[in-house]
Structure 1
Amino acid sequence: MPESRDESRAERIFTEANRVLIALVLAAVFLIVFANVLGRYALGTSIPWAEEVARHLMVFGAFAGAGLALREGKLVAIDVLLERVPALRRPLRWGAVLLMAAFMGLLLWYGAMFVGFGWNKETMATQMPRGIPYLAIPVGAALFLVHLALFARRYVRAEFAPDHAEGDD
């Protein structure tokens, strides 16, 4: 996505750090699953914790990447009303921003409570506290809220231009 003149250096660093985090998570999932498949079919044994850790990392990646998907226009949107009634564009976009912020604020709050609830229970394979993988919920919601706060004004002013790949509609 082309950089906006309104983006600060801190915002670009935050966005790039989020992208690197997602890339590292996906690379870790790939390596764990690849090693497990290789071990299972080449050596006849599998890594006992691989499936659990890969699943937790994929969930974390999805939550941590939601803010980037929002910023880049990759989330599902219904914009028929925005296209047909341009006078409602700003109020509807502000409404959407406020609704997303409220939802993610609740997800952050209840996600943190969920982490606390799971902290004294253990996962099956790794025996780590369940609160650790549950951290994906509040961390992902917090990242989403930061992304939303950083670009909401540009989105409402219609300076937000989703980065569509060839063939995307």
Structure 2
Amino acid sequence: MEKLETWIVATNRALVAVALAAVFTIVFANVVGRYGFGASFAWVEEVARHLMILGAFCGAGLALREGRLVAITTVPDLLPEFLARILRWGIVIVMFGFMATMLWLGIQFVEFGWDKETMSTGISRGIPYLAIPIGCALFLIQLTFFAKRFVAQDFEYGVSDEAEG
């Protein structure tokens, strides 16, 4: 199971890195083209926006497992350990329910937009909308692997965990 988790984390990181590197590359090329050669591509803003959204949704699960999401720890820190663990399990359940709902709604959103085209590229709007269900599914996978460590507080905030590889 650890190998699967390590592979999923690495694949998730690669997806986010590729999306953000692509944003940097096309925006940089467009700036050079506009100011260096007086020509730019109309599709760059749209594609960069879609890739940034993909990077944000797909990076949320990674941020969770590294303790980089906003966390209010005052209440659990004031509770006895037993009650703090119950509260953290409740938080896991709420996160799971929210992201599962987002996944379901994201799939519906993709279906809704599939027959419509984007303005600049003319591709199906369902393609960039896929960022929502893909990101939510990755978050749920990361949460499933990470929940037990989160409840036990067996990680350090802002520090990558041992499943990195």
Same fold by TM-score greater than 0.5: yes
Partner of 1:51: 45
Distance in 1, Cα, partners of 2:80 & 2:117: 52
Select the residue among 77, 80, 101 that pairs with 1:86.
80
Are 2:121 and 1:126 equivalent residues in the alignment? yes
1:10 corresponding residue in structure 2: 4
Q: Which moved more, 1:7-16 or 1:101-110?
A: 7-16
Greater mean deviation of Cα atoms: 139-148 or 12-21: 12-21
Read off the aligned partner of 2:71 and give its amino acid letter. A
Q: Which residue identity is paired with 1:43?
A: F
Number of paired residues?
Answer: 159
State the match for 1:148 in structure 2. 143
Relative to 1, partners in 2 of residues 1:10 and 1:164: Cα closer, same or farther, differing over 3 Å?
A: closer
- Structure 1, unmatched stretches of 5+, are 1-6
RMSD: 1.3
Offset from partner CA, 1:102-146 (integer Å, 9 cap, x none): 000000000000000000110000000000000000000000000
CA distance in 1, matches of 2:52, 2:65: 20
- 2-structure distance, mates of 1:78, 1:40: 45
Identity of aligned residues (%): 57
Counterpart of 2:89 in 1: which secondary structure? helix
Q: Which of these residues, 8, 11, 22, is aligned with residue 28 of structure 1?
A: 22
Q: Following TM superposition, where does structure 1 have runs of at least 4 consecutive aligned residues deviating by more than 3 angstroms?
A: none
Query: What's the TM-score once normalised by structure 1's chain length?
Result: 0.91
Deviations 1:44-81 (A, max 9, x none): 01111101000000000000000000000010011101
Comparing both chains, which one has the higher relative contact order based on Cα–Cα distances under 8 Å and sequence gaps of 6 or more?
2
Look up the equivalent residue of 2:42 and give its one-letter code.
P
Secondary structure, counterpart of 1:122 in structure 2: coil
Query: Which amino acid in structure 1 is aligned with residue 95 of structure 2?
Result: M
Structure 2: 5+ residue stretches without partners: 161-165
* Secondary structure, counterpart of 1:125 in structure 2: coil
